[in-house]
Amino acid sequence: MLSAKPLYIAWAVAALALTGCTVAPVQRTPTAQELDPGPKPSPEDANAAVTAYLRESLKDPDSLKDYELKSIVSHNWGDGGRTGVIFYNAGWAACVSYNAKNSYGGYVGKSVHAYLVRKADKWYVSKDENFYASRTPCWE
């Protein structure tokens, strides 16, 4: 009968080898520019940007019901060091609640969502994945 001891040693060596593959994030202080959210969108601009985005992204755009803009809040976030360098960004989070249909055609119930609203030529919803991975500002 074979001893389990070599197997445990192999697992320990593999675990140690994998832990050495992580990159420690570079800590730094964010600049004033990185923490400046820019001009605050009006409720009308935020509503127009979010509803346009929802009409493009919902499974059934015509199913959008009970839409309500709850607030527009300034929010700072970073990537948490996932890329090896912590970066910071700032923007405006439009906190909205609505009800819409899912893939099965049923309404899921009214819930609150945060959308990053930015301005280029016009106001739009940014698809910055780090914002959506950050702690949602609508529950702070």
pLDDT tens sequence across 103-112: 999 999 998 8
> Considering the entire predicted model, what is its pTM?
0.69
Mean pLDDT of 66-88: 76
Dist CA 41 CA 92 (whole Å): 8
- Greater model confidence, 22 or 69: 69
Q: Is a pLDDT exceeding 90 seen at residue 48?
A: yes
Give the angle subtended at the CA of 132 by the CAs of 98 and 92, to the nearest 5°.
75
Mean pLDDT check: name the lowest of 3-12, 60-69, 90-99, 108-117.
3-12
Confidence of residue 125 (pLDDT cuts 50, 70, 90): confident
The overall average pLDDT reported for the chain is: 79
- Cβ contacts of 137 within 8 Å, gap of 6 or more: 73, 75, 93, 95, 114
Residue 46, pLDDT score: 94
Beta strands in the chain (DSSP E): 65-78, 88-99, 111-119, 123-125
The 3-state DSSP class for residue 68 equals strand
